[in-house]
Amino acid sequence: MREPASSFINRRRVVLAGAAAWAVPWASGAARAEGFPSQPLTIVVPYPAGGASDIDARRIGVELARRLGQPVVIENVTGAVGTLGVRKALRAAADGHTLLYGSLQETVLMPIVSANAGYRTEDMSAIAVAGVTPATVVVRPDFPADDMAGLIELLGRQPGRFTYGTAGVGSFFHFVSETIKLKTGVFAVHIPYRGGPPVVADLLGGQIDIGITAAPNVVGLVRQGRLKALGVSSADRLPALAAVPAFSETPALKGLDMSIWGMLLAPKGLPDSTARMLNQAINEIAEMPAIVEQRSASGSGQPPRLSVSQAQAFLLRERDAYRQTAGRMRFT
């Protein structure tokens, strides 16, 4: 989970129209012949303005406006761990003019961990993966382990002795911790928080021993020597934390590759031609040098370039994998 949920709906609409005012229509072919886009687009972001999802969506919105020749409206609809925004997006017409910038948390995990989500992952049409961010396991500099192998050995010797914080029960970061536990058998006491920043604050303050949070939350602190990173949950090392091993480099965690991703989605039934046009645009935007550099510097990874059918298969694969893990977890 990237941002804490609020207990109310907050809608904030921002129009990214400047680029569209002069844009030469970028797309052609069947989707144009069918009249898409025929009006401004709305991207629903299920989290507040200024968060990671919102920043990614705004970057995409600016570039989409340039390519499609229509303004793009960013609408922040917050509440209930992102589920209110998802519900709003899924109630829209499946014509491509209302899109969802959804993360793993609200599109896959919430329908698994909450009976009140109000939707299913299979109700969504995946368009393209727009961003990926691994978890990072961090500790204070004096912690008696320097990598994931050392941490696993320590927790194995002293089960229940150490505490770790995540962004909440059922969050992606909680799933990361439980996956480590299932693979290794080690145990630490889970302290759930409402979002990533409080985890980092309490780790720095000595209230918890270990933090599991998004890499961008701690890149600066690791570089400053205020925190020590033991591992990142992606298959490969991150350029921003090049000295920090990937989980897969630890024998006990071999093959483990987990990241929280952002994806552009639409209600089920999106026309194929519209989906292909948007997919091409998002993939091109994700590979723009300036965006690649920004993400790399912040601690995020590079999203895979997938076709529409591959993106949908990826979404459903993630659902199945996390559902299987959830069946072995205790949500406490």
Q: What is the pLDDT of residues 279-321, one digit of tens each?
A: 999 999 999 999 999 999 999 999 999 999 999 999 999 999 9
Under the banding of pLDDT at 50, 70 and 90, the label for residue 15 is: low
Per-residue pLDDT, 20: 44
* pLDDT, greater one: 112 or 18: 112
- Residues 132 and 232 sit within 8 Å (Cβ to Cβ): no
Prior bond to 37 cis, omega within 30?
yes
pLDDT, mean of residues 161-172: 96
In the predicted structure, residue 9 carries a pLDDT above the cut 80: no
In the predicted structure, residue 6 carries a pLDDT above the cut 70: no
Residue 328 burial (C-beta neighbours within 10 Å; 0-12, 13-18, 19+): exposed
Q: What is the pLDDT of residues 41-57, one digit of tens each?
A: 999 999 999 888 899 99
Question: Which H, E and C letters describe the chain, residue by residue?
Answer: CCCCCCCCCCEEEEEECHHHHHCCCCCCCHHHHCCCCCCCEEEEECCCCCCHHHHHHHHHHHHHHHHHCCCEEEEEECCHHHHHHHHHHHCCCCCCCEEEEEEHHHHHHHHHHCCCCCCCHHHEEEEEEEEEEEEEEEECCCCCCCCHHHHHHHHHHCCCCCEEEECCCCCHHHHHHHHHHHHHCCCCEEEECCCHHHHHHHHHHCCCCEEEEEHHHCHHHHHCCCCEEEEECCCCCCHHHCCCCEHHHCHHHCCCCCEEEEEEEEECCCCHHHHHHHHHHHHHHHCCHHHHHHHHHHCCECCCCCCHHHHHHHHHHHHHHHHHHHCCCCCC
Q: What is the pLDDT of residues 221-247, one digit of tens each?
A: 999 999 999 999 999 999 999 999 999
Portion of the chain with pLDDT greater than 70, in percent: 89
In the predicted structure, residue 40 carries a pLDDT above the cut 70: yes
State the average pLDDT for the chain: 90
